[in-house]
Structures are given as structure tokens and as C-alpha cells.
Amino acid sequence: MEISSKYNPTEIENKWYQYWLTNKYFSSKPDHRIPYTVVIPPPNVTGVLHMGHMLNNTIQDVLVRRARMMGMNACWVPGTDHASIATEAKVVNLLASQGIKKSDLSREDFLKHAWEWKEKYGGIILEQLKKLGASCDWDRTRFTMEPKLSDAVIEVFVDLYQKGLVYRGTRMVNWDPQGKTTLSDEEVKFKEVKDSLYYIKYQGVDFDGHLEIATARPETIAGDVAVCVNPNDDRYKHLLGKKVRVPLINREVEIIADDYIDIEFGTGVLKVTPAHDIHDYEIGLKFNLPVIDTLNDDGTISEQGVLFVGQDRFVARKAWVSDLKEHDLLIKVEDYVHNVGFSERTDAVVEPKISTQWFLDMKKFMEKNPKVLSAVMDDEIKFYPEKLKNTYKHWIENIRDWNISRQLWWGHRIPAFYDESGDFVVAQTAEKAIVEFAKKGKSLNLTQIKQDDDVLDTWFSSWLWPISVFDGFESKEELNYYYPTNDLVTAPEIMFFWVARMIMAGYEYTGEKPFKNVYYTGIVRDKQRRKMSKSLGNSPDPLDLIAQYGADAVRLGMLLCAPAGNDILFDESQIEQGRNFCNKIWNAYRLYHQWEPLKDVEIRTYELEAIEWFENRLNRTLLENEEHFAQFRLSDALMNLYKLIWDDFCAVYLEAVKPHYGESITMEAKEATKLFFAQLMKAIHPYMPFISEEIYHSLFEGSIESPCVVSEYPIANKEKAFAMELPMQLVSEVRNIRAQKQISPKEKLYAWMENAESELVDFSSMISKLSNVEFQPNQRISNSNQTMFLINKSEIWLELNLEIDVEAEKNKIQEEITYLEGFWKATNSKLSNEKFVANAKPEIVEKERQKLNDAETKLQNLRVQLSNLS
């Protein structure tokens, strides 16, 4: 049957993915084998597949598929997280488009809508991962808000509360006015913003004149309760204790002094607004100042803000400025660049706000679990790349309490129950809460208590993921087998949100690390180094790419250049390279397939040599790759296989065993080729699962014991892993001479080897086949149209059917002699240096001696040739 000269991935991919699923090759159950476990970083249910997911999941799939082929019980657990704030925003928007306001709905009704939304859209991303070829055990798909996982979250909250690690407290927190919720410190992203710095007059009350104050946020003036200077600032010492009038508001406030104030900044005077700035808040606490909150939860000015009530904070800012100007209280405006916090989910400018929230006491937690830091520092949990250990250490050592409550409905509702007086207990259920109240001497019924309205931070459920996906809070059965997991693949930006916290939960709840290795991927960027994002519109749709080039091509394109921790600069040309590689493999198969082998004909010398040669190349690559894989150098391993297949297998081996025109390959050689091809497909399978499975099956025409996906990964035979570089060096040199002298590859040339090394002699038939050169067994008869070159120490004489330019030959040889003389001199001076011989390692000195000897041999030969030519 005729096979197309172009590889068509679509049909093949669907066929094999279905085949793998049907035969349950991805499913895992505990058994006698060594487990190899990976938990997926749960994508957010609102997400659709983007390039970052592609990279991340391709890497995981490579690791998992290889482990499976290495005979381990590979278990890759998929799932999604509920993404409180993002999902709630989506649902609110969807309802708004239907004319429904969240505030008109009860909590229960809203959640009903949210679950509907989740059922409809929440699984999309997992379906997309299948297109990529992800070999997850889909029967194990989990969701952070499903009942069992929710129970675990509540359990943990109650437990940590009872241990005194979770507490309720009033603090300055990050407020997202768009999401209308607090955020943890990690959810605030600082960005440099060009703003204005306004210099404003605060009139003296009990002194003449005024103070000049610089602020970027005039809309908060209504919350001013003092002005503050540095106690060492001579400009203002005489004014301490006196009063100024807050502009437009006319509140009288005192001038106080504190070391915190930077004399250099602005005018050296700070307006103190405890409700809206963390530092001001601390000064407020110190001086016992009142707190005037001038903002509503949605970022508009509150009643206490007096002016522009109900206006958005940024509108109010402009209004304040123009009013100040009108009253001649604005002195000047300067350009001002500073860092402003934005909500990681909604991108709204975050407001510092005083609020009562639930916190996890991190200092106490770390004292209880010192392994969280030491395990990483001591490489018990290994980070790839290692340099990220520093970042981790820095964060842990400066850790602050974790704000775990969110003013949202979609999520795990905080299991705290309040009575009418505001007194509260923490318990798994309302019924248990009644019991808790009873212990406090309060006899209440269910209608007299009310559960906390807030939910928990999504990461407060994700941090349990490696334990909870195995139902580890319920039974140890699967946990004992699969945990700790092997490798975690994630982005460095998730290190604090998730990686660190999983390590915390791991030690607190299992006394064990959650994983052995953490592989940090980079960020996928475009050629201009911009992060690929939907808003920039610079990201191709991964599914379109798969449709156009095939999943294998996309996977290869992503991984060809993606060292751990490095950003990858994505370019469609890389995917093209992947597609071309698929096509190369495809055509290699076509060639193999069309060979009609000769039975009962003894294998030819050039075939035998080619087989011997490739066997060594194959084993050498496999050997090198074992090291690459051990170090998570997936790109290097891939490049090695790429070159092995393209250069060694296709360009050399197949050309070498390919029969001469009109002849046929021998049965034995075709059989050897089949086995090589199968080995190659197995070796590349983790990277390119589809095409490898297709060809693997075709090679054996359905008569195979197991499909590629669960076949044995090839192991290097160390005895047959020589570099074997000399034969091809010789071939290249001949081709080069042909190119230079414009001699057609079809013209047969005659050659002699003198002082030849065995690596050339042993492969002379193969060399002969590839270079169309016939080696003469007899002694060389010197004549004028011969040219000589060296391959390592061996002399190769090539007879050409054209007059040799003797002068040019002499020059060529002279050039080489000059180079070698320089080399000899350098090496010799090294060896005659007593300090070198004394200090360098013996094997290094020996190596140098060897080099010197080799150079001498070569020089001797060349000098003889030169004199022969003269």
C-alpha cells in the first residue's frame, strides 16, 4: 500500500489516545511495583489551555511516560481547583449579563448558579490536555471542592485552630475593591506606576503659616488624623505638639514625631491616615490615634470621607485636586514613579484596609515544622534549578501570617460559628458547634448561631492536594503507597502560593515531604520577550497549533529549548521544526517499509558494519541520556535523541544499509533495522507519544506483545557505547573534497589508508558505501594525482581523476604542520613546566603526554609527505 510522503497527525492521534484509554494504560492501582507519582498542578476551573499549561504538562507527561516504561507504577493524578475569586467573578458577570445581581440572591441560590457554571465549563481544560496526549489516570480526576476534599479542608482548619495556629484578628489587610474581598500578601502584585505627587498646604492652627505635605493620594486626606515629622528634622522641631488644619475638612490634627519618617522624601512631613496605609496604621497604634475609614468596600468614598461621597476613589482624587487648587491649597504637582499593588486575580488597585480576618500564624507553624526550610536547603526536596532555593529561603525567613479568609461565597465556608454576642467557636458542623458552645456554658440551638460568611483562600485547599487526592485525611491506604510523590512540575511564580505551602502541609499532616523533586518551568514568552497572555493577544491558541502541526510537533517545539527555570521564547518555527522531525521519522519508515528483503542471502559486510556502528551510537546516546534524565535535563536528552534519529539513523545508518540501485537488502539487515527503529521509537515515545506508537505498531504489523506506551524503555549497553566518530569524519572529508573539486558523488574514487587505526579499517565497507570510495588493499603506488589528508593519526590517500596542484597540496600540508608545531610547542612547554607536572592530577599530565605523542606522529607523517611532494 502506498504511504503518503507527508505525515498526517490528526487521525493517528485520536486513534491512539482512544486506544490507550480503552486499554487503561494510564490507570494506576497500588501493587508490588515501585510507585512513580505526580500530582498535576490543578488548573483553575475557569481556565482554558494556554501555552504555559502546554509546557508544564508536556514536561510532566515526558516524566510520567518514561517512568511507566521504566517499569514503575506511574500515577499522574489530574484535577482542577475551584479558584474562589476568579470563578466567583465569572459567575457574577454571567449573572449580570442576565440582569441578575449577586446581592439579590441568597448564598444558596448563588452557589447553585456557580455549580452549574462549574459543571458546564469546569472540565474544558482537562479535555484539552487529552489532545496534548497527557497520560493522566483520568479515573482519579479530583476537584478541590468535591465533598471528600472539602471535608479535608474543614478538618484541617479546625485542627489548626485547636492547635492554636489559626487565629482571628484585626489587621491591616489587602483589599480588592473589585473582587470585594481581602487577599493574602502573595496575591498582591506590585507594579511600577507613573503617578503624580501633590504638594498640599496644611494651615497652622496655633502657629502662623502652614506645613507643606507631599502625597500621591489626596483622596485619603479626609482620613488624616495627624501629621508626622522626623524627630531629628530641624525644620520642624519647633512645631511639635502644635496643630494644623486638614485641608477642606478643617479637622484640627496634631504634629507628632516618629523615626519612620524619611527626612529626604517630599517635604519630610507625612500625613497620617491609619485606615489606608500600613505604616500610618502602625504610627496610629503607637500614638493611639483614631481610625477614620473613608472608603467603602467597592472603592468608593464612604460617608466618613465627607467630600465626594459615593464617587470612585480615582474620580474623587481628581475632584480633590481641583478643589484644593481652587482653594489655593495646592502648591505644586510633580511626576512620581512608585510601586502600586494590584490584585493578582482582578488587577484592581489594592487598598490597605483594616479588617477582622482569619490568619495562620506562620512563625509558630515554622517553629513546629523546621523541616519546611531545612528539607529544601539540604536537598531532601530538590529544586531544579537549584538557584531557586535562595528565593525560597528568603521568603520562609521573612514569612508573615497568612490571611486565609476571603469575603466570597464560592469556596469552603469557614467553620466558625457565632452567637448573638459575637462570641464564636470553631467546629466542623453547626451541630458540633452547639456542643462547643455548651462546653463554654452556653446553651444554644441551631437558630441561635450563625456560621461565618467568609470562605477560605483557595490555596488553603490546594496545599493539601498531594495528600487529599489520595484521600489521605481519611485513610492511609493509598497514601502509604503513593506518597511522597516523586516530581512536581510548576512555575516559579507559584513557589510561595503553593509549593511552600504543600511542603508545610506535608510535614504537619504526614510528617513527610510531599514530593522529592520540584521542577520549575519558565514562562512562555513571545519573541519580544513579552509574557504570552490573552490580554496582549500574543499567544497562539494551543489547540489550533495542535490541529495544524500535530501534538507531537507542538510538544517537541516546546521542549527543544526549555531548560529548567529558563523562560522559553516561543516561536512557531520551533513547532515547524517539530513537524519536520515527525515527517523525517515518517519517511524513514516509508523507506524501511518499501524494502523487500532477500531471503537466504548472507548479510553483507557494509550492512554488518553499519549495524555495529549504529548500535554503538544508540547505546552511547542512551547512556548520556540516563545522566540527562537524572538531572532533569529534558531538552538535552531530547536534542540527543533528535540528532541520533536524524543524523545517525537517517543520514548515516539508513543510507549505509540502503541497497544499491536494483539490489535488495538482506533479511538479516532489515530485521536489525526493525529492531533499531523500534528502540528509537521507544526512546522518543515520552516526547512524541503518537507517532512513536503508530510506527512501533506498524513495524511489528500488529504482532507485538505490548504497545509502545507500556513497552520497556531501552537501557544502554555500556559495553557497546563507543563514540565511533572517525568513520564519518572520513566520509565527510571525502564529500568535502568532492564539493571543492566539483567531483560528482556518483563518480567512484580510489583510496588507500596508511597507518590506519582500527576504527577506520573495521568500518571501511560502510565508509566506502557512504563516500563512494573504493579502498585499495594493495600498497599505494605513488603518482601525481593523489591527495592526502589525516583522520586523527591515519593517513588517507585519495586518487583523483584530475591534475593535482602540487603547490596547493604543499601549502595545505604546510599549514597543518604549522598548526601542529604550535600545538606541540604549547603542550611541550606545559610538560616542561615543573609546577604543572607537580601540581596537576596525574591523569591530566598523562593526557598531555599522549597529546604530545600524537602530535609528533602526525608531524612526522606530514613532513614525509611534504618532502615527497618536493
- Closest separation in Å from C-beta 524 to RNA: 11
251 to 290, contacts with RNA by CB under 7 A?
278
Based on CB atoms, which residue is closest to RNA, 580 or 698?
580
Interface with RNA includes 579 (CB under 7 A)? yes
- Closest separation in Å from C-beta 257 to RNA: 21
- Closest separation in Å from C-beta 549 to RNA: 8
Q: State the maximum Cα–Cα separation within the chain, in Å, rounded to a whole number.
A: 117
Based on CB atoms, which residue is closest to RNA, 7 or 36?
7
- Closest separation in Å from C-beta 158 to RNA: 28
**DSSP secondary structure string for all residues of 305-334:** G-SSTTSBHHHHHHHHHHHHHHTT-EEEEE
620 to 639, contacts with RNA by CB under 7 A?
635-636, 639
Interface with RNA includes 115 (CB under 7 A)? no
- Closest separation in Å from C-beta 598 to RNA: 16
Among 112, 394, 440, 825, binds RNA (CB under 7 A): 394
In 3D space, the residue among 740, 851, 734, 720 whose CA is nearest the CA of residue 791 turns out to be 734
Cell of 643: 540528532
Interface with RNA includes 584 (CB under 7 A)? yes
Based on CB atoms, which residue is closest to RNA, 305 or 550?
550
Based on CB atoms, which residue is closest to RNA, 225 or 562?
562
- Closest separation in Å from C-beta 847 to RNA: 5
Based on CB atoms, which residue is closest to RNA, 478 or 648?
648
- Closest separation in Å from C-beta 548 to RNA: 10
Residue whose entry in the numeric block shows the C-alpha cell 611534504: 866
Interface with RNA includes 577 (CB under 7 A)? yes
464 to 503, contacts with RNA by CB under 7 A?
492-493, 496
Based on CB atoms, which residue is closest to RNA, 27 or 829?
829
Q: What contacts 218, CB < 8 A, 6 or more positions away? A: 198, 200, 317, 320, 321, 324
Q: Which stretch binds RNA (CB under 7 A): 479-487, 575-583, 692-700, 775-783?
A: 575-583
- CA 12 to chain centroid, in Å, comes to 29
> Dihedrals φ, ψ of 11, to 5°?
-65, -45
- CA 392 to chain centroid, in Å, comes to 16
Based on CB atoms, which residue is closest to RNA, 233 or 624?
624
Q: Which stretch binds RNA (CB under 7 A): 217-225, 284-292, 302-310, 648-656?
A: 648-656
End-to-end CA distance of the chain: 62
- Closest separation in Å from C-beta 401 to RNA: 11
DSSP state of 659: P
527 to 566, contacts with RNA by CB under 7 A?
560-561, 563, 566
- CA 504 to chain centroid, in Å, comes to 21
Interface with RNA includes 818 (CB under 7 A)? no
Length of the chain: 870
Based on CB atoms, which residue is closest to RNA, 257 or 562?
562
Q: In 3-state terms, what secondary structure has residue 411?
A: coil
Q: Which stretch binds RNA (CB under 7 A): 3-11, 22-30, 446-454, 701-709?
A: 3-11
How many beta carbons lie within 10 A of that of residue 166, not counting itself? 24
Residues 849, 540: Cα–Cα separation, whole Å: 57
181 to 210, contacts with RNA by CB under 7 A?
185-186, 188-190
Interface with RNA includes 140 (CB under 7 A)? no
Interface with RNA includes 10 (CB under 7 A)? no
Q: In 3-state terms, what secondary structure has residue 293?
A: coil
> Contact, 709 vs 693, CB < 8 A?
yes
- Closest separation in Å from C-beta 190 to RNA: 5
820 to 859, contacts with RNA by CB under 7 A?
823, 826, 830, 833, 835-836, 839-841, 844, 847, 851
- Closest separation in Å from C-beta 460 to RNA: 18
Among 63, 269, 416, 731, binds RNA (CB under 7 A): 731
Interface with RNA includes 219 (CB under 7 A)? no
- Closest separation in Å from C-beta 483 to RNA: 28
- Closest separation in Å from C-beta 696 to RNA: 17
Q: What contacts 558, CB < 8 A, 6 or more positions away? A: 51, 54, 55, 58, 524, 568, 570, 574
Interface with RNA includes 583 (CB under 7 A)? yes
- Closest separation in Å from C-beta 498 to RNA: 12
> Dihedrals φ, ψ of 13, to 5°?
-65, -45
Based on CB atoms, which residue is closest to RNA, 32 or 660?
660
Based on CB atoms, which residue is closest to RNA, 474 or 655?
655
DSSP state of 711: S
Interface with RNA includes 377 (CB under 7 A)? no
Q: Which residues of 416-446 are buried (b: 16+ CB within 10 A; e: fewer)?
A: bbbbeeeebbbbeeeeebbebbeeeeeebee
Interface with RNA includes 398 (CB under 7 A)? yes
Q: What contacts 586, CB < 8 A, 6 or more positions away? A: 6, 7, 691, 695
- Binding footprint of RNA, residue count (CB under 7 A): 71
Based on CB atoms, which residue is closest to RNA, 7 or 308?
7
- Closest separation in Å from C-beta 1 to RNA: 14
Q: Which stretch binds RNA (CB under 7 A): 69-77, 315-323, 385-393, 422-430?
A: 385-393
324 to 353, contacts with RNA by CB under 7 A?
339
Amino acid at site 668: E
In 3D space, the residue among 363, 466, 429 whose CA is nearest the CA of residue 142 turns out to be 466
399 to 428, contacts with RNA by CB under 7 A?
400
Interface with RNA includes 580 (CB under 7 A)? yes
Q: What contacts 570, CB < 8 A, 6 or more positions away? A: 51, 524, 525, 526, 527, 532, 558
Based on CB atoms, which residue is closest to RNA, 179 or 578?
578
DSSP E strands, 65-105: 73-77, 79-80
**DSSP secondary structure string for all residues of 437-500:** HHHTT----GGG-EE-S-EE-THHHHTTHHHHTTTTTT-SHHHHHH-SEEEEEE-GGGIIIIIH
Based on CB atoms, which residue is closest to RNA, 332 or 387?
387
Interface with RNA includes 442 (CB under 7 A)? no
Among 15, 413, 516, 590, binds RNA (CB under 7 A): 590
123 vs 16, 79, 133, 418, CA distance in Å? 22, 9, 16, 37
- Closest separation in Å from C-beta 536 to RNA: 14
652 to 681, contacts with RNA by CB under 7 A?
654-655, 658, 661
Residues 242, 204: Cα–Cα separation, whole Å: 8
838 vs 828, 841, 845, 847, CA distance in Å? 15, 8, 9, 15
Q: Which stretch binds RNA (CB under 7 A): 37-45, 125-133, 225-233, 580-588?
A: 580-588
> Contact, 263 vs 227, CB < 8 A?
no
Cell of 95: 449573572
Interface with RNA includes 732 (CB under 7 A)? yes
Interface with RNA includes 745 (CB under 7 A)? yes
How many beta carbons lie within 10 A of that of residue 105, not counting itself? 16
Based on CB atoms, which residue is closest to RNA, 807 or 834?
834
Residues 366, 286: Cα–Cα separation, whole Å: 28
- Closest separation in Å from C-beta 578 to RNA: 9
769 to 788, contacts with RNA by CB under 7 A?
none
Q: Is 392 exposed, middle or buried (0-12, 13-18, 19+ CB in 10 A)?
A: buried
Among 1, 5, 703, 705, binds RNA (CB under 7 A): 5
